């Protein structure tokens, strides 16, 4: 197998035949995380703010076990059962990410597992090896914005 499963004792276990995250090369594809408290297996509360934070904490836990952080997330998809709560979700979401923010898609869905109001999935890239090369050799060997003087 070329890909590996990534799990975390600090995130909810999969509730079906899927992996919480799969890594292939430097790419990490994370399954949608519900606002489930890992210790109890139950939803954190009915609050969209608390549910958003728990989804993101679950993503963080899986990334941490892969040696990464939310800084490595390039793309998120947010599924919500009520987009009128987007502003509240967005406020909490902004506390977990910093610039440059990941690309994002948000969509309203008719329902989510366990009656959750939100589910968040993401794609991350492990750029640590490239970061080491660039820090040691500069960007002379990289085709990046640094090479273009940006």
Output the domain CATH number for residue 82.
3.30.1330.40
| Predicted local distance difference test score (pLDDT) of residue 75 | 98
Report if residue 89 sits inside a domain. yes
Distances (CA, A) of 144 to 65, 92, 137, 139, 141: 28, 31, 13, 7, 9
| Predicted local distance difference test score (pLDDT) of residue 121 | 98
Which residue(s) pair with 37 in the sheet? 42
**pLDDT digits (tens), the chain, 150 positions:** 689 999 999 999 998 899 999 999 999 999 999 999 999 999 999 999 999 999 999 999 999 999 999 999 999 999 999 999 999 999 999 999 999 999 999 999 999 999 999 999 999 999 887 777 777 766 655 555 554 454
Place of tokens 């890992």: 38
Report if residue 23 sits inside a domain. yes
Report if residue 132 sits inside a domain. yes
In the chain, how many domains are there? 1
Report if residue 104 sits inside a domain. yes
Report if residue 120 sits inside a domain. yes
| Predicted local distance difference test score (pLDDT) of residue 140 | 56
Range of the domain at 73: 4-141
Report if residue 146 sits inside a domain. no
Report if residue 150 sits inside a domain. no
Strands 103-108 and 73-80: parallel
Tell me the pTM.
0.88
């Amino acid at each position: 197998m070329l890909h590996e499963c990534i799990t975390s004792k600090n995130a909810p276990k999969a509730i079906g035949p899927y992996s919480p995250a799969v890594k292939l090369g430097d790419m990490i594809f994370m399954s949608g995380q519900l606002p489930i408290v890992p210790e109890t297996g139950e939803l954190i509360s009915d609050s969209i703010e608390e549910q958003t934070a728990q989804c993101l904490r679950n993503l963080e836990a899986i990334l941490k076990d892969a040696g990464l952080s939310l800084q490595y997330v390039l793309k998120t998809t947010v599924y919500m059962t009520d987009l009128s709560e987007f502003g509240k979700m967005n406020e909490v979401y902004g506390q977990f990410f910093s610039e440059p923010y990941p690309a994002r898609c948000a969509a309203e869905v008719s329902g989510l597992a366990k009656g959750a109001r939100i589910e968040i999935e993401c794609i991350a890239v492990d750029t640590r090896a490239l970061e080491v090369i660039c820090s040691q050799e500069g960007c002379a060997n990289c085709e990046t914005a640094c090479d273009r003087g940006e």
